[in-house]
């Protein structure tokens, strides 16, 4: 992740707690070890490790901020024999959801001895009586093989539900720790749930595991599912390239995920360096004009007889006058397919267009090996935070460490590809596309 400027991170990194931790952690007995395995709340990870930025902050007499390190605490808040835990998954599908569920259940059951674990069906709908979704009793036997499956065994939904009703249900169910897995909208709702719980002065810990295949969570270096997405997106590019070179003036056009950020498109293009043009939301481009996309494709075809184009789904929103953010209605992939075909028809140049949209294939597959490992760590650190009575936080990954990040810091913000970053410069170097601007 790129270093932040000095003014980018003036916020409170303190983590909320439900009360004093006074119960000895059972991990000291369950895990063989020679050294101390426990993490102190004083262990912190610097938010910005850029030396110049740190010097400037010190010079300006600004605090050097850090996130609390995730991991097991020596003293915990909840009695494992009495606490009841719940897991809910919300939003779109993403590789690794079942891995997260499995890791949470296994850590609760085997490391802490928690026996009362339930799953909430179909996202936040599961808290609302009118939907009549049942609960799922979760145990090691139930979750032992779910990591081999795509999707989520608990089901999901995108719809927002009434916060007070959700908290009422949590109270009725006598939940002690709620693990919420979801994207930006879900984490915003999780923050509201946690705030209402604190306002009511009830003892329920809310732990968020942020989910976005687009890898656009603010302050988080990597989100689960991203590694799998890039791997499969690279295979789609490989197929598009094979199709393109297989025909005279072949054009392979691939639309990838990335509503607000182009991390998947950029990383996949670098992973499979057969791409000639990468279009992302953060970088403007024109279709017409001397240096516009159409003329650049034309030059490419005249010289090499084939071209491969990758477009993130949020790219080119300026071309849609009505509701530019409605990506279901305004499909950049279909739009480009027709516009490119129309341009070459007017130029009387024969082309062979192959359009590939692997989005749902990528979203619904099981996680790859790297994401299996990553999800296991996320889930287990979420359990450590919850059992310690911490709340209103997400488990994030920053500067090669898992950390506790206050929910409020991430809500309503997104990480984006910096057009001046090494990532985007490498994309430009590998494609040779240059600036796709008419002026």
Same-domain pairing of 110 and 87: yes
Same-domain pairing of 315 and 171: no
- Residues 27, 102, 88, 174: is their CA dihedral positive or negative? negative
Report, as an integer, the average pLDDT of 367-394. Answer: 97
Same-domain pairing of 259 and 317: yes
Same-domain pairing of 104 and 216: yes
Same-domain pairing of 108 and 191: yes
In a domain, 356, yes or no: yes
Whether pLDDT at 6 is above 50: no
pLDDT for residue 4? 46
C-alpha span between 96 and 146 (Å, rounded): 10
**pLDDT class of 269 with cuts at 50, 70, 90:** very high
Say whether 28 is catalytic: no
**pLDDT class of 35 with cuts at 50, 70, 90:** low
> Which residue in 255, 302, 104, 83 sits closest to 176, CA to CA?
83
In a domain, 79, yes or no: yes
pLDDT for residue 412? 84
**pLDDT class of 11 with cuts at 50, 70, 90:** confident
The answer to whether 89 and 102 are in contact (CB under 8 A) is: no
Cβ within 8 Å of residue 62, ≥6 positions away: 6, 10
| Structural domain harbouring 82 | 16-223+367-398
pLDDT for residue 5? 42
Whether pLDDT at 405 is above 60: yes
- Considering the chain, what is the average pLDDT of its residues? 93
Same-domain pairing of 172 and 233: no
In a domain, 4, yes or no: no
Residue 149 belongs to domain with CATH number: 3.40.50.450
In a domain, 406, yes or no: no
* 97-112 pLDDT tens trace: 999 999 999 999 999 9
Q: How many domains does the structure of the chain reveal?
A: 2
In a domain, 44, yes or no: yes
The pLDDT > 90 percentage for the chain reads 87
pLDDT for residue 324? 63
Using alpha carbons, list the distances in angstroms from residue 4 to 53, 56, 83, 221.
8, 12, 40, 12
In a domain, 437, yes or no: no
Report, as an integer, the average pLDDT of 137-145. Answer: 97
Same-domain pairing of 57 and 173: yes
pLDDT for residue 327? 61
C-alpha span between 78 and 75 (Å, rounded): 9
Q: How many CA atoms lie within 13 A of 199 on its CB side?
A: 9
Catalytic residue among 16, 99, 184, 214: 214
* 320-376 pLDDT tens trace: 976 666 666 689 999 999 999 999 999 999 999 999 999 989 999 999 999 999 999
Same-domain pairing of 111 and 30: yes
pLDDT for residue 347? 96
Whether pLDDT at 2 is above 50: no
Query: pTM for the complete prediction?
Result: 0.93
In a domain, 7, yes or no: no
C-alpha span between 195 and 171 (Å, rounded): 15
Residue 308 belongs to domain with CATH number: 3.40.50.460
Same-domain pairing of 278 and 204: no
Using CB atoms within 10 Å of the CB of residue 271, give its burial: 0 to 12 exposed, 13 to 18 middle, 19+ buried. Answer: middle
pLDDT for residue 37? 87
Whether pLDDT at 1 is above 70: no
* 63-80 pLDDT tens trace: 899 999 999 999 999 999
Same-domain pairing of 53 and 72: yes
In a domain, 333, yes or no: yes
- Residues 191, 193, 197, 200: is their CA dihedral positive or negative? positive
Same-domain pairing of 210 and 198: yes
Same-domain pairing of 173 and 233: no
136 beta partners: 119
């Amino acid at each position: 992740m790129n270093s932040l400027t000095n003014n980018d991170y003036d916020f409170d990194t303190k983590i909320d707690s439900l009360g004093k931790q006074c119960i000895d952690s059972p991990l000291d007995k369950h895990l063989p070890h020679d050294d101390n395995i426990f993490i102190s709340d004083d262990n912190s990870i610097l938010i910005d490790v850029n030396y110049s930025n740190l010097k400037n902050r010190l010079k300006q007499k600004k605090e050097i901020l850090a996130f609390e390190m995730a991991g097991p605490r020596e003293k915990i808040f909840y009695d494992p024999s009495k606490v009841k835990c719940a897991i809910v998954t919300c939003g779109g599908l993403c590789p690794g959801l079942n891995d997260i569920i499995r890791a949470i259940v296994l850590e609760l059951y085997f490391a802490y001895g928690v026996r009362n674990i339930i799953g909430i069906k179909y996202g936040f709908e599961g808290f609302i009586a009118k939907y009549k979704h049942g609960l799922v009793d979760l145990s090691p036997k139930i979750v032992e093989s779910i990591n081999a499956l795509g999707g989520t065994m608990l089901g999901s939904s995108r719809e927002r539900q009434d916060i007070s009703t959700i908290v009422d249900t949590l109270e009725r169910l006598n939940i002690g720790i709620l693990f919420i897995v979801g994207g930006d909208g879900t984490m915003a709702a999780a923050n509201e749930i946690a705030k209402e719980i604190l306002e009511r002065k009830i003892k329920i810990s809310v732990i968020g595991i942020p989910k976005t295949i687009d890898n656009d969570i603010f302050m988080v270096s990597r989100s689960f599912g991203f590694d799998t997405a890039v791997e499969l997106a690279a295979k789609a590019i490989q197929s598009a390239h094979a199709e393109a070179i297989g025909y005279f003036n072949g054009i392979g056009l691939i639309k990838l995920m990335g509503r607000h950020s182009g991390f998947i498109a950029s990383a996949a293009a670098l992973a499979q360096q057969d791409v000639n043009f990468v279009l992302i939301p953060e970088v403007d481009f024109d279709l017409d004009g001397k240096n516009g996309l159409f003329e650049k494709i034309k030059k490419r075809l005249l010289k090499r007889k084939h071209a491969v184009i990758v477009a993130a789904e949020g790219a080119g929103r300026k071309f849609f006058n009505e509701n530019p953010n409605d990506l279901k209605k305004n499909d950049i992939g279909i739009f480009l397919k027709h516009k490119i075909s129309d341009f070459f028809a007017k130029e009387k140049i024969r082309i062979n267009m192959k359009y590939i949209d692997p989005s749902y294939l990528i979203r619904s597959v099981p996680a790859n090996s790297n994401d299996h490992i990553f999800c296991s760590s996320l889930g287990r650190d979420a359990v450590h935070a919850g059992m310690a009575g911490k709340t209103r936080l997400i488990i994030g990954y920053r500067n090669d460490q898992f950390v506790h990040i206050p929910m409020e810091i991430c809500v309503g913000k997104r990480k984006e590809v910096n057009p001046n970053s090494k990532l985007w410069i490498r994309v430009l170097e590998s494609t040779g596309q240059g600036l796709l601007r008419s002026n």
